[in-house]
Amino acid sequence: MARRKQVYEGKAKILFEGPESGTLIQYFKDDATAFNNKKHAVITGKGVLNNRISEYLMLKLQDVGIPTHFVRRLNMREQLIREVEIIPIEVVIRNIAAGSMSKRLGIEEGTMLPRSIVEYYLKSDELGDPMITEEHITAFGWASYQEIDEIMSMALRVNDFLSGLFLGVGLKLVDFKLEFGRLWEDEDMRIILADEISPDNCRLWDVKTNERLDKDRFRQDLGKVEEGYQEIARRLGILPEAGPRDMRGPETIQ
Ligand code: UDP
């Protein structure tokens, strides 16, 4: 079989050319990085879990009318996606203070925010993803006013839906990062959700104990990183316990 052409390699994923034009294959690696690449490790099994968790969440979002790049999962580590023109902005939605917001504004981690807050960061490893405002985005032409309005409202809808979904399995969605892309269909263009949604880019805490089950286990050297990701998949009912045929539904926590 001919070797597939690699289109892009990022920190946690590789993109290959897809089987037909307008598609790509997204491969999930076990590599984890933090603090702008200063910290690196291989977390065995992470790619498999993120592929599965992201598939599950993207399909649930599609069910409620959020357009995404996800087409279908191909195997344990790969999914077929639609090729989009990535908007070079990381959109962070926060419900509870944590991470860089706590540091920057001196708000204790775990403080409930008065309302959900959307922030924008420029996707640039060289610059360390600096925080930007709508003013920068529109002035420099990274996205138009109309696009940024659409991104903001889609991000808040994703937040409402995912917050409820995670709460149903005993998890608080503290904050998370989304990326969007432009999908061209003939002369028409629309904005769709891209990238991945997984514990690599969400903070998820247990409702009762506030135990961190996400990438902060790696960032803060809390250990048992893969176990945290597994626990998220288990609660969502997508961790095969007795082989791949054992796919139970979500476990509701009262
Ligand atoms: N995040 C991400 N990629 C980044 C930066 C942040 O996925 O390059 C996610 C991160 O996992 C968290 C949220 O965005 O869920 C907010 O991250 P924060 O700004 O607090 O930065 P951090 O503390 O991760 O440096």
What tens digit of pLDDT does each residue of 122-163 get? 999 999 999 999 999 999 999 999 999 999 999 999 999 999
Which domains does the chain show, CATH number per domain?
Answer: 3-84+224-253 (3.30.200.20), 85-206 (3.30.470.20)
Angle, alpha carbons 27-197-168 (nearest 5°): 135
Question: Could you give phi then psi for residue 91, rounded to 5 degrees?
Answer: -100, 115
What tens digit of pLDDT does each residue of 202-219 get? 999 999 999 999 999 999
What is the position in ligand 1's atom list of the atom closest to the CA of 219?
24
Cα(69)–Cα(108) distance, integer angstroms: 36
Distances (CA, A) of 143 to 124, 157, 161: 16, 20, 25
* Mean pLDDT in residue range 199-203: 98
Q: Which long-range contacts (CB under 8 A, 24 or more apart) does 246-250 make?
A: 250/168, 250/169
What pTM, to 2 d.p., does this model score? 0.94
Task: Say which residue the tokens 């991945």 belong to.
Answer: 196
pLDDT band at 98; cut points 50, 70, 90: very high
Q: Whose CA is nearest to atom 3 of ligand 1?
A: 201
Q: Is 237 exposed, middle or buried (0-12, 13-18, 19+ CB in 10 A)?
A: middle
Which residues approach ligand 1 with their CB closer than 6 A?
A: 90, 92, 98-101, 129, 175-177, 201-203, 215
Q: What is the pLDDT of residue 176?
A: 98
Ligand 1 geometric centre to CA of 136 (Å): 20
Residue 44: count other Cβ atoms within 10 Å of its Cβ. 9
SS3 track for the chain? CCCCCEEEECCCEEEEECCCCCEEEEEECCEEEECCCCEEEECCCHHHHHHHHHHHHHHHHHHCCCCECEEEECCCCEEEEECCEECCEEEEEEEECCHHHHHHHCCCCCCEEEEEEEEEEECCCCCCCCEECHHHHHHCCCCCHHHHHHHHHHHHHHHHHHHHHHHCCCEEEEEEEECEEEEEECCEEEEEECCCCCCCCEEEEECCCCCECCCHHHHCCCCCHHHHHHHHHHHHCCCCCCCCCCCCCCCCCC
Q: Whose CA is nearest to atom 11 of ligand 1?
A: 201
Name the residue with higher pLDDT: 192 or 37: 192
Q: What is the pLDDT of residue 3?
A: 75
Ligand 1 geometric centre to CA of 177 (Å): 7
